[in-house]
A and B are shown apart, each in its own frame.
Chain A
């Protein structure tokens, strides 16, 4: 046969695949309707039957146009079966639905082969015809073997006329996705050119050029928005296959499951829709196989025999949310605990502190499955971690909630689009790198001049103490340096790091040490070849405002690798568990301290318990009370002091500058006072030990006293006692 006109054949293939998805849906609906009784059953069945018949009929009809004989025969077999059902000559049974679904699969197989080879494949459909044979014979010889055919239902025979879709169809145009991508690229360029234009005309404000630039600016924004919307697909594209999947899995496990879908008009970027197909399939399979109990189990629990799986999509706050809820038995926390402990994923000491919600997070770890029995559908522990990885790869998040007896809900949050994302630009060794904002939890200053916040090393492994939690640190300079010269000596990992990005990905939190943090902006993610992704460091690239290319860090890969390295090191480091116990003991005795930068930048610490509250005052709020400054708070006048009795506090320039000053409000001898500091930096935990032997001087300075010098994170820090009574208490 001659190769066919590509565009006509492509149209046929796209239409047919859509038709098959509709068929799957209709057949499952048909089967469910046949389980009900009365009028509802007839109405549903009639509608589903007509729709299924139309879909298959269209495929068959077009087949003969292309000369696909084999496809035509298969489609015809299914169509005539549907015609008999519609005419009431046959009674619908689960076996017939199986036969029809097998027909759909055969059609799909042939279509897929045509798609790749452009020719109809040879093949033998004898097995399928054999499966369908009993009913075909029954229908053609109704007198002998069709007891159900005795009561034809007139409302079924009439059929439903095709819906008036023609007017609607005329409003739509089928466009090649590659063309849309091309347009998106061009809009991306336009955005960059617009940025430069707007920047350069701000100096000539009021000129006609500036007005035109403003209009270009506005139109570009609109255009970008519209093009992005064009690339969106309704989530129904994502879950068109689910009714069939649920039906097949439920049949295989011998369960009765009803799938309820809502919000299917919610739209998502087509790239995200593609990326979500596999994870969603995983979650749905899991829910049917493990989440929902079988009929007997449900009756024991006092629930209806039919399990319900609800899938809801909605848009909220610039994200798309997907909720997948089953009304099954819920996840067994006891089994998760047991498994996590036996596999050494956590130790007993920290286990006591974990909340139920934290325990549930273990199910996302690789190889973690609490399924009592492994089936061929799921339960081998390869599902949830892969699902999470796929969701995070498109910038989404997944969370799980579960309540014993009432079911499990997975909550997936996804960005609306991938093409343009907010990102943080950082600078390292003279080059800019981009970190997707979705991964950034917070930014911490570290290194020189930032008090006790700095990167330490344990067993050659850089770490950072963030509010009492140990964070593994990855140095960007080392990452790109090591990538440039494999095997190069690991120089001081974070010598030039000034900032730490606290990142979350792959279920772990890491600190990324960088030299400079520049700004946040919306970036246009550009497609790059697989060559770049092979590095395992970069997820893609973007073009910055100045026209230079900047690489986008693959936070997921970096965090995953860091976690793996970390785990390996913990395994080798003997006594890691003992250290963990010591750590938890230490934490039990720990005293929370507020770290501040005193006037003139000196670091100091005060006990959190002594501080009533922290209030920021603008410099204008400070009044003079004799020689000393004071502020009004809650109708009270509070005398203000500073650490070290800063002489400048008395002068006229004191507490000036256009900035708010933090004041620690505390009480001394029954009166409220304020202690002004440069900055409040962090809360750390102090184990109460190790006063520095050097100086135990007590420099009285108007209420606030330097009580003791302590070693905090290897830095000597003044611990200041605010209230008279607490003096020496530590």
Chain B
């Protein structure tokens, strides 16, 4: 199976957002930073928390907590980390709660996202490239291009919030 063949070559960088584990392909990760002050962009979609100065390069930052609808708009980045990934539109900083580790080797496999949809089927399922079947738990692997698309969607469709929103 191709998935198994790939798993021996690919690695996954995991991180935590609101107590859940997620991962991105380690090859797409440029660097990991501590959370730092961002410049707010008035009029930006809610998940676009601001702009980051990355050694002179200006990089947009997207807060995954807001994107997943588990935190109110523009949560203050208390603690946390920024995962800078390469996307089709250039580097993008993902705001997360904590960095996990890098999974590599035979103990991990990328499985397709279950078609029937699990507990979090629906619109968010589109954000995932698949499920990482690690030895001890399952981790959602993000599809970066879809994340970028969702993050920069104009607020016309911003009313789509998860019903269980804590606010």
- Chain B nearest CB from A95 CB (Å) reads 51
Q: A477-490: contact bitstring with B at CB < 8 Å (1 yes, 0 no)? A: 00111011010000
Quick check: is A455 within 8 A (CB to CB) of the other chain?
no
- Chain B nearest CB from A383 CB (Å) reads 32
Instruction: Please tell me which stretch of B37-45, B78-86, B112-120, B123-131 contacts chain A, meaning at least 4 of its Cβ atoms lie within 8 angstroms of it.
Output: B37-45
The answer to whether B58 touches A543, judged by C-beta atoms less than 8 angstroms apart, is yes
Interface hits, A533-548 → B, CB 8 Å: 534-535, 537-538, 541, 543, 547-548
- Chain A nearest CB from B148 CB (Å) reads 9
- Residues of A contacting B60 with CB < 8 Å? 529, 531-532
**Given the known A-B contacts A531-B152, A541-B51, A549-B52, are A431 and B39 also in contact in the complex, defined by CB atoms under 8 Å?**
yes
Extra 14 A-B pairs, beta carbons < 8 Å, given A431-B40, A537-B42: A185-B56, A186-B56, A188-B56, A192-B56, A526-B58, A528-B51, A531-B48, A532-B41, A535-B41, A535-B44, A537-B43, A543-B53, A549-B38, A549-B58
- Residues of B contacting A480 with CB < 8 Å? 42-43
- Residues of B contacting A531 with CB < 8 Å? 48, 60, 89, 152
- Residues of A contacting B51 with CB < 8 Å? 528, 532, 541, 549, 551
Instruction: Report Cα–Cα, A486/B159, bound state, in Å.
Output: 13
Interface hits, A684-701 → B, CB 8 Å: none
Residue of A nearest to B46 (CB): A484
**Given the known A-B contacts A531-B89, A531-B152, A549-B53, are A541 and B58 also in contact in the complex, defined by CB atoms under 8 Å?**
yes
What are 12 A-B pairs with beta-carbon distances under 8 A?
A: A189-B56, A479-B42, A486-B43, A526-B57, A528-B58, A531-B60, A532-B41, A534-B154, A543-B53, A548-B53, A549-B39, A549-B58
Residue of A nearest to B56 (CB): A189
Residue of B nearest to A486 (CB): B155
- Residues of A contacting B89 with CB < 8 Å? 529, 531
- Residues of B contacting A192 with CB < 8 Å? 56
| Binding site secondary structure of chain A | mixed
Residue of B nearest to A479 (CB): B42
Pick from A189, A483, A543, A549: contact of B43, CB below 8 A.
Answer: A483
- Residues of B contacting A189 with CB < 8 Å? 55-56
Instruction: Report Cα–Cα, A78/B48, bound state, in Å.
Output: 57
- Residues of B contacting A538 with CB < 8 Å? 41
Quick check: is B19 within 8 A (CB to CB) of the other chain?
no
Q: A229-260: contact bitstring with B at CB < 8 Å (1 yes, 0 no)? A: 00000000000000000000000000000000
Interface hits, A1-40 → B, CB 8 Å: none
Residue of B nearest to A483 (CB): B43
Quick check: is A550 within 8 A (CB to CB) of the other chain?
yes
The answer to whether B37 touches A529, judged by C-beta atoms less than 8 angstroms apart, is no
Interface hits, A461-505 → B, CB 8 Å: 479-481, 483-484, 486
Number of residue pairs A-B, CB distance < 8 angstroms: 64
Instruction: Report Cα–Cα, A538/B41, bound state, in Å.
Output: 9
- Residues of A contacting B58 with CB < 8 Å? 526-528, 541, 543, 549
Q: How large is the interface on B (under 10, 10 to 19, 20 to 34, 35 or more residues)?
A: 20 to 34
- Chain A nearest CB from B49 CB (Å) reads 12
The answer to whether A550 touches B43, judged by C-beta atoms less than 8 angstroms apart, is no
Instruction: Report Cα–Cα, A240/B50, bound state, in Å.
Output: 43
- Chain B nearest CB from A594 CB (Å) reads 40
Q: How large is the interface on A (under 10, 10 to 19, 20 to 34, 35 or more residues)?
A: 20 to 34
Quick check: is B164 within 8 A (CB to CB) of the other chain?
no
- Residues of A contacting B48 with CB < 8 Å? 531
- Residues of A contacting B154 with CB < 8 Å? 534
- Residues of A contacting B57 with CB < 8 Å? 185, 526
- Chain B nearest CB from A612 CB (Å) reads 50
Residue of A nearest to B50 (CB): A549
Interface hits, A583-601 → B, CB 8 Å: none
- Residues of A contacting B42 with CB < 8 Å? 479-481, 483-484, 535, 537
- Residues of B contacting A548 with CB < 8 Å? 37, 39, 53
Quick check: is B90 within 8 A (CB to CB) of the other chain?
yes
Instruction: Report Cα–Cα, A479/B44, bound state, in Å.
Output: 13
- Residues of B contacting A543 with CB < 8 Å? 53, 56, 58
- Chain B nearest CB from A179 CB (Å) reads 16
The answer to whether B56 touches A551, judged by C-beta atoms less than 8 angstroms apart, is no
Q: B54-85: contact bitstring with A at CB < 8 Å (1 yes, 0 no)? A: 01111010000000000000000000000000
Task: List the 10 closest pairs (A to B, CB-CB), nearest first.
Answer: A483-B43, A189-B56, A480-B42, A549-B39, A483-B42, A549-B51, A535-B43, A526-B58, A484-B42, A543-B53
- Chain B nearest CB from A561 CB (Å) reads 13
Q: B1-14: contact bitstring with A at CB < 8 Å (1 yes, 0 no)? A: 00000000000000
- Chain B nearest CB from A24 CB (Å) reads 37
Q: A505-529: contact bitstring with B at CB < 8 Å (1 yes, 0 no)? A: 0000000000000000000001111
- Residues of B contacting A529 with CB < 8 Å? 60, 89-90
- Residues of A contacting B155 with CB < 8 Å? 486
The answer to whether A550 touches B55, judged by C-beta atoms less than 8 angstroms apart, is no
- Chain B nearest CB from A348 CB (Å) reads 42
Q: B141-166: contact bitstring with A at CB < 8 Å (1 yes, 0 no)? A: 00000000000101100000000000
- Chain A nearest CB from B145 CB (Å) reads 14
- Residues of B contacting A537 with CB < 8 Å? 42-43
- Chain B nearest CB from A425 CB (Å) reads 13
Instruction: Report Cα–Cα, A83/B154, bound state, in Å.
Output: 61
Instruction: Report Cα–Cα, A484/B53, bound state, in Å.
Output: 21
Instruction: Report Cα–Cα, A605/B144, bound state, in Å.
Output: 65
Instruction: Report Cα–Cα, A186/B57, bound state, in Å.
Output: 9
Residue of B nearest to A537 (CB): B43
The answer to whether B39 touches A550, judged by C-beta atoms less than 8 angstroms apart, is yes
Residue of B nearest to A541 (CB): B58
**Given the known A-B contacts A531-B60, A531-B89, are A551 and B39 also in contact in the complex, defined by CB atoms under 8 Å?**
yes
